[in-house]
Amino acid sequence: MAADPDAARQVAQFLSRFFVCDEPRSYPTGTAGGGTRLHLTVDTLLTQVPGRAAPSWLAGSRSQARRTHVGETD
């Protein structure tokens, strides 16, 4: 759900930079048409950058204290 069609388009463009997506479709929502529903199928196993997988949520959620910092080795 988005407040307007432009916001839905921006979300679709952002996701398609990193993942293989089908053609996005948007539909008006609510009785007054005050929002936009985005329909987009995203394949999270295939990325747009060959040889680079999307980072997993687990790797991205690690504490900074446990990560190797610049100048350190594992």
Phi and psi (nearest 5°) for 9?
A: -65, -40
* Domain annotation covers residue 58: no
What letters, b where the CB count within 10 A reaches 16 and e where it falls short, cover 30-46? eeeeebbebebeeeeee
* Domain count of the fold of the chain: 1
- The reported pLDDT for the residue numbered 49 is 59
Max Cα distance, the chain (Å): 58
The overall average pLDDT reported for the chain is 70
Mind listing the pLDDT tens digit for each residue in 34-51?
A: 788 888 888 777 666 565
Three-state DSSP class for 50? Answer: coil
Q: Which range marks the domain in which residue 23 is found?
A: 1-46
Decide if 54 is inside a domain.
no
With a cut of 60, say whether residue 3 has pLDDT above it.
Answer: yes
Judge whether residue 63 has pLDDT over 60.
no
Q: What pTM was computed for the model?
A: 0.51
Residue 52 within a domain: no
